[in-house]
Amino acid sequence: MGKKFFIKTFGCQMNFNDSERIRGILRTLGYEPTDRWEEADLILLNTCTIREKPDQKVLSHIGEYKKIKEKNPNALIAVSGCLAQRAGWELVQKAPAIDIMFSSFNMHQLPELINQAQAGYKAVAILDAPPEDEDKVWDFPVERDNPFCAYVTIIKGCDKNCTYCVVPRTRGKERSRSLESILDEVRKLVDDGVREVHLLGQNVTAWGKDLEKPIPFSELLYEVSKIEGVERIRFTTGHPIDLTDDIIEAMADIPQVCNALHLPFQAGSNRILELMDRKYTKEFYLERISKLKETVPDIALSTDIIVGFPTETEEDFEHTLDVVRQVEFEQIFSFKFSPRPGTPAENMEGQVPDEVKTQRMSRLLELQKAIMSKLAKRYEGTVQEVLVEEIKEDRKAVGRTTTNRWATFTADPSLLGKIVKVKVQKATPFNLECELLEVVR
Ligand code: SAH
Ligand code: SF4
Ligand code: F3S
């Protein structure tokens, strides 16, 4: 019987892409996936530590998964990702059932770590900085669930050091992946049938600055678009300060670049933005949004917002609501400020009580709900291009518009993976009910 692995992933898209790479590595070692942890020989938790909640979830999961060792004493429990990088041995002391630990710095070392653990050693490989040979990780295959849309990591780490954020500590300094390595992966993906590539990084718009011969991110967009078979390009996440005019113009100019952008603003008050060290003002952010809306017509915008940063007053929070009102995002992801160990904001004076955060959060969501209903209505009667990602038994097709909205309609199974034109009949904030018009390509 072959060995089986079970992976549970927390956190952002970067972490999901890392898990896809880890799955690929495990396949090369002869492991097969299972979706039941009870029958796994290797259980891996790819963790996140962006806020306090995910930290707690990991510990409670390990508490459950360690029961596996009663039935299968040779089963291994591995913890990877950002919590592993931040907490290291401290986490192993809290949860001694952990056999293997590594982070996004050294996923390529997993084969040796498994050997060590099988020999009975605790294989904890948490490094202070990424090792010299970290690029070896690109040589391993990725195993994806979605045959048509693929993530491609283009830059690791972050140099921004926002005062609330743990990412620079868990993912290290910015390291751009080489142009050739990225294009190679995209070519392979297209050969495999992928039609949409989603370029990933904590700060994709900073890509290329640290290369031996610096290349602007907009150039990467052009290069990827030239690969035959790439029908759609998305990228996440951009930092407003690096969203230069050439990128906005490339978005408008390259037909394959989707009509959507996730651009976190975090807070509307200039005083809070300064305390966060975000390096821009409310006015700067709104100017970038105007430029985007002018240059890329009908662009769908989404954002991240932190509520209740230390010292946030009612007046500060009003500025956040004001940005939301002015921009009219299609989607917002809002989070209560969560103090992270070792970050400057952890012990800042003026921590905001939880009741206040909860109350502000619900006001924000109330406002957003109204905006989303209004924006959804604008879709009704329009014609949209959709990439068909799934067709269920009753010919119910599901796909996304270039503005990243889910659309459903009736279609023949042969249209799977095709880009089609649909007419929107009924729009709600989370779904567009459509009628199929024609196949585009
Ligand atoms: N690199 C991306 C986002 C990374 S983390 C960027 O800078 O835009 C994803 C989101 O988590 C952030 O945008 C922020 O809104 C939220 N976040 C990060 N640290 C947080 C903290 N300490 N408390 C609450 N939310 C946080
Ligand atoms: Fe964190 Fe700021 Fe970097 Fe985003 S830009 S990952 S919020 S430090
Ligand atoms: Fe979490 Fe690490 Fe992503 S902390 S949000 S998994 S970069």
**Cα–Cα distances in angstroms (integers) from residue 209 to residues 97, 153, 376, in the given order:** 42, 16, 38
DSSP 190-233: HHTT--EEEEE-TTGGGTTTTSSS---HHHHHHHHHTSTT--EE
Two structure tokens written together for 267: 């807070």
Cis bond leading into 163, ω under 30°?
no
Contacts of 202 (CB under 8 A, 6+ apart): 14, 155, 156, 157, 158, 167, 171, 237
Per-residue tens of pLDDT for the chain, all 441 residues? 689 999 999 999 999 999 999 999 999 999 999 999 999 999 999 999 999 987 888 999 999 999 999 999 999 999 999 999 999 999 999 999 999 999 999 999 999 999 999 999 999 999 999 999 999 999 999 999 999 999 999 999 999 999 999 999 999 999 999 999 999 999 999 999 999 999 999 999 999 999 999 999 999 999 999 999 999 999 999 999 999 999 999 999 999 999 999 999 999 999 999 999 999 999 999 999 999 999 999 999 999 999 999 999 999 999 999 999 999 999 999 999 999 999 999 999 999 999 999 999 999 999 999 999 999 999 999 999 999 999 998 999 999 999 999 999 999 999 999 999 999 999 998 999 999 999 999
The answer to whether 377 and 427 have CB atoms below 8 angstroms apart is yes
Beta carbon of 16 within 6 Å of any ligand 3 atom: no
Q: So what's the pLDDT on residue 57?
A: 87
Gap from CA of 356 to ligand 1 centroid (Å): 19
Note the helical H segments in 13-88: 13-28, 52-65, 68-71, 82-87
State pTM to two decimals: 0.96
Beta carbon of 239 within 6 Å of any ligand 2 atom: yes
Q: At what angle do helices 314-327 and 282-295 cross, to 10 degrees?
A: 10
The answer to whether 242 and 206 have CB atoms below 8 angstroms apart is yes
Residue whose CA is closest, atom 7 of ligand 3?
167
Q: So what's the pLDDT on residue 178?
A: 97
Gap from CA of 337 to ligand 1 centroid (Å): 9
Beta carbon of 49 within 6 Å of any ligand 3 atom: yes
Query: Checking DSSP bridges between strand 383-391 and strand 396-401, what pairing results, if any?
Result: antiparallel
Label residues 151-171 b or e (16+ Cβ within 10 Å = b): bbbbbbbbebebbbbbbbbbb
Max intra-chain CA distance, the chain: 64
Q: So what's the pLDDT on residue 1?
A: 65
**Cα–Cα distances in angstroms (integers) from residue 107 to residues 37, 53, 285, in the given order:** 21, 24, 36
Q: So what's the pLDDT on residue 2?
A: 87
Q: Which residue has the tokens 């072959």?
A: 2
Gap from CA of 264 to ligand 2 centroid (Å): 10
Beta carbon of 170 within 6 Å of any ligand 2 atom: no
- 352: DSSP letter: P
Label residues 123-134 b or e (16+ Cβ within 10 Å = b): bbbbeeebeeeb
Domains and CATH numbers, the chain: 4-125 (3.40.50.12160), 134-376 (3.80.30.20), 383-439 (2.40.50.140)
